[in-house]
Structure 1
Amino acid sequence: MKLYSTNNKNLRISFKEAVFNSMPQDKGLYMPVEIPQLDPDFIKNIEQYSLPEIAYKVASALLRDEIPDEDLKALIEDAINFEAPALKLDEDTYVLELFHGPSLAFKDFGARFMSRVMAYFLKDGEQLLDVLVATSGDTGGAVALGFLGVPNTRVTILYPEGKVSPIQELQLTTNGQNIRAIEVKGTFDDCQALVKQAFADEELNAKFRLTSANSINISRLIPQTFYYFNTFAQLKKQGFDEVIFSVPSGNFGNIGAGLLAYKLGLPVKKFIAATNINDTVPRFLESGIYETKPSTQTYSNAMDVGAPSNWIRIMDLFNQDVEALKKVVTSYRFNDEETLAGIIDIDVKFDYVACPHTAIAYLAIEKYRKEKPEDKSAAVFLSTAHACKFPDIFPSDIAAKIEIPEQVKALESKSHHADKLGVDFEGFKNYLLSRVN
């Protein structure tokens, strides 16, 4: 698997190099030079395969020349050791539960796969690997648990002050060992900017072996394709051949993975990018003008992104052809009032408790169906996090239905610590330089 930069299509590097470098020096993102087409017989008979088997088939098509088959199979079986069920809510509506991993969020797919890949490539005696990650909520917890105790690695998580839920903050700040958390007095976009500046800084790159665990890292994107294929397998068992995915979208890595799956040969009729009022992409698809703006805090905090990094990957997948993209992708935005109404509607109709991100994906399906009543495809909205992470969002009667997992209860008894920084890069740089060892 060779990769290029979205800012330099002549560049050629290996998957291993892309994983550890995370981001090209030209500030583009890595993309595969070739996207292979999966065997049509595999797609035709996909319902016969388990999630780990599907994951191996997809990963091996991309990575066979990078990781030997048996090693890749073992790596996947270790990383993807939890389920992703598509639950039927009515005749043609399904919710895809992606929160059954250790951090209770869909980010476990990417973080666990990435940590295993990095551990596989790391050699004894090599320089310590410093993993920098910005989080708006769930990424940090997944990365922390994915890398906790992994030898020769150190993880630094930046999160915005007052803009993650209490449980999310505990998942970031209670790990210790090789995991440290920084509370930034700013937004997620500020955190992400600090991480990107660090990768472009010559002095930091001379002192540290830096990489990222954000969705800008290609090894995060690949495993997220697995659950799109696996969902199609589940729907085929139910007699469906056409599917629409509604994806809660913030940094656009999740839907980016879905579109990569589509380019690999997954037959998807439509992707819906469902956002909150941080609506850079819906505005672009409406106006043709791509204009970022500072992020605004909402109930769906993991989607509070004003400058989504992965959008350049999506445009690259479609060769910058906006009209071709719009045939596959549509996008809707919803505010907090609508989000809460969606949570209540799902509870009333289906007796199902959905987190605010999930509710936005559901609302997008409902809006799409009103606009396209003739489309009878199976509609799947992605549930990206367990509802227990957002206790203050729900009306009391719905909150009472939420079952608190044991791993969350255990967090409350742990000691926690976070360093505090502002949004200036020099402060962050000095923080890193003062902690070389």
Structure 2
Amino acid sequence: MKAYSTRGQAPAIPIAEAIAAGLAADGGLYLPEHWPQFKPADFDGAGTLAEIGLRLLQPFFEGGALETALPGICERTLAIDPPLVAFGNKSDFLLELFHGPTAAFKDYAAGFLSGCLSALPRGEKDLTILVATSGDTGAAVAAAFHNLPGFRVAILYPDGRVAPRQAHQLGSFGGNVCALRVDGNFDDCQRLAKTLLADTEFRRRVPLGSANSISLGRLLPQISYYAHAALGHWRNSGTKLNFVIPTGNLGNALACVLARRMGLPIGEIALASNANSVLPEFFAGADYAPRPGIATLANAMDVGAPSNFERLQALYPDPAELRQQLRAEAVSDAQIRAAIARSLAQRGQIICPHTACAAEVLDRLRARGESGDWAVVATAHPAKFPDVVEPLIGRPVPVPASLAAMLARPSHADPLPDAVEALKVALLSNAKPQKPALSAGDG
């Protein structure tokens, strides 16, 4: 299958090439030329995430450079079945996507992307994976590519705008991974990455790849865990599962939309934003009006110009039709705090600030009389945010072993001004792998 650019000014190319390229030559985002259609019965005999993911993704890769590698990639990178657990009553559920190596949902897609890029032929120079992160993406990508021959990783994150434990993770890898703390917000980091990825002259000097959700190799595998959760629920109850998804850059939410578009038994999809309310305003009827992101407790969602909105517009060019696909609501910091405290008191679950946005929206839906079975998507482990969570619940949050190991390592990140030329200098000077400095961390 081929992929086309959302901007229509670049030629369609095979899916494998689109994954390797990241961004289209015209600055657009790649989308598959068509979407395979499935029925629940098409997945009979497939129960694990890896098995369902393989059946779901095979049509995209059939006849391409990654066809023979796909089974092994799915087996390795979709090996952890995400639990769908009770969330207070028989109709509310929590989809736990945080059981990977960096305790965030990004681990699934980052691992899949590294598997794809490792299986594709590359030039003699190392490929630098350039990734902008608002908190979790960078660590997941670093873990997926750490010490992988032929690759380097450059992480751009907004200085002072990620949680302390997230910042420590980002700088804790060393080796072929460098962390750059940018003097700006996430949208600035994303703009720097996109600008350089579109610079063909610089890419001849330093081969670049993308691991943000602009990459098709990040988007496609995320469809798998929505298919897995929806099929499991369908098999148990015979009903469609609705989702409330915390969202910033829209990649995770888009994956759920695509799973439903491909015929999986998914009902309504509600988006939960933090105080960055661009999406709630659009879905309420206003024009799409991106703006600079503002800092909130749910920092990984501090996005004022979500990249994947361009993909949504390409799939649903009519704004009225697009607004029929989703609903969206904004959640304030005060409401995040209340939702965290309420989740433990009423549901017996400790949740992170991002998951709390979705829990708050679910509570609003129930208060309005919304029926059906709903799953809140838990995107990160609450132990990544002790400064926010622990004072609200009055006790420490147990730290997963993989996260504890990262926090035990030294951490280092270099400062970077919000300037493309400064980023070019940093990437050129980082031609050889670096080791982390012996510091206590970035705080």
- TM bucket (normalised to shorter chain) is over 0.9
Q: Deviations over 1:108-136 (max 9, x none)?
A: 1110000000001135x633111100000
Partners in 1 of 2:270 and 2:71 — Cα distance?
A: 32
Residues 130 and 153 in structure 1, CA contact (< 8 A), matched pair in contact too: yes
CA drift of 1:70 comes to: 5.0
Deviates more, 1:166-175 or 1:295-304: 166-175
Residues 88 and 94 in structure 1, CA contact (< 8 A), matched pair in contact too: yes
Q: Which residue of 2 aligns with 1:103?
A: 102
Partners in 2 of 1:262 and 1:304 — Cα distance?
A: 26
Partners in 1 of 2:294 and 2:10 — Cα distance?
A: 37
> Secondary structure of the residue that 2:81 maps to in structure 1?
coil
Partners in 2 of 1:290 and 1:95 — Cα distance?
A: 30
Residues 156 and 180 in structure 1, CA contact (< 8 A), matched pair in contact too: yes
Q: Which residue of 2 aligns with 1:112?
A: 111
CA drift of 1:291 comes to: 0.6
> Secondary structure of the residue that 1:132 maps to in structure 2?
strand
Partners in 1 of 2:198 and 2:308 — Cα distance?
A: 18
> Secondary structure of the residue that 2:181 maps to in structure 1?
strand
Partners in 2 of 1:317 and 1:243 — Cα distance?
A: 22
Partner AA of 2:19 in structure 1 = V
Deviates more, 1:66-75 or 1:288-297: 66-75
1:356 to 348, 353, 358: 353
- TM-score normalised to structure 2 length: 0.93
- How many residue pairs get aligned? The number is 431
State how 1:42-61 maps to structure 2 within 5 Å.
42=42, 45=44, 49-61=47-59
> Secondary structure of the residue that 2:12 maps to in structure 1?
strand
CA drift of 1:40 comes to: 5.1
CA drift of 1:355 comes to: 0.3
Partners in 2 of 1:234 and 1:362 — Cα distance?
A: 21
Partners in 1 of 2:390 and 2:22 — Cα distance?
A: 41
Q: Which residue of 2 aligns with 1:297?
A: 295
Partner AA of 2:84 in structure 1 = A
Partners in 1 of 2:362 and 2:19 — Cα distance?
A: 34
State how 1:144-183 maps to structure 2 within 5 Å.
144-183=142-181
Using the aligned pairs only, state the percent identity: 36
Residues 20 and 210 in structure 1, CA contact (< 8 A), matched pair in contact too: no
Partner AA of 1:349 in structure 2 = Q
Partners in 1 of 2:182 and 2:288 — Cα distance?
A: 27
Partners in 2 of 1:5 and 1:396 — Cα distance?
A: 46
State how 1:1-20 maps to structure 2 within 5 Å.
1-8=1-8, 11-20=11-20
Are residues 1:340 and 2:345 paired? Answer: no
CA drift of 1:235 comes to: 1.2
Partner AA of 1:347 in structure 2 = L
Partners in 1 of 2:138 and 2:151 — Cα distance?
A: 15
> Secondary structure of the residue that 2:57 maps to in structure 1?
helix
- TM-score normalised to structure 1 length: 0.95
Residues 151 and 176 in structure 2, CA contact (< 8 A), matched pair in contact too: yes
Are residues 1:200 and 2:198 paired? Answer: yes
Are residues 1:406 and 2:401 paired? Answer: yes
Q: Deviations over 1:214-259 (max 9, x none)?
A: 0000000011001101111221243141221111000000001111
Deviates more, 1:416-425 or 1:98-107: 416-425
Structure 2 unmatched ranges of 5 or more: 433-443
Two-structure CA RMSD over aligned residues (Å): 1.7
Structure 1 unmatched ranges of 5 or more: none
Deviates more, 1:359-368 or 1:64-73: 64-73
CA drift of 1:288 comes to: 3.2
Partner AA of 1:35 in structure 2 = W
> Secondary structure of the residue that 1:379 maps to in structure 2?
strand
Q: Which residue of 2 aligns with 1:28?
A: 28
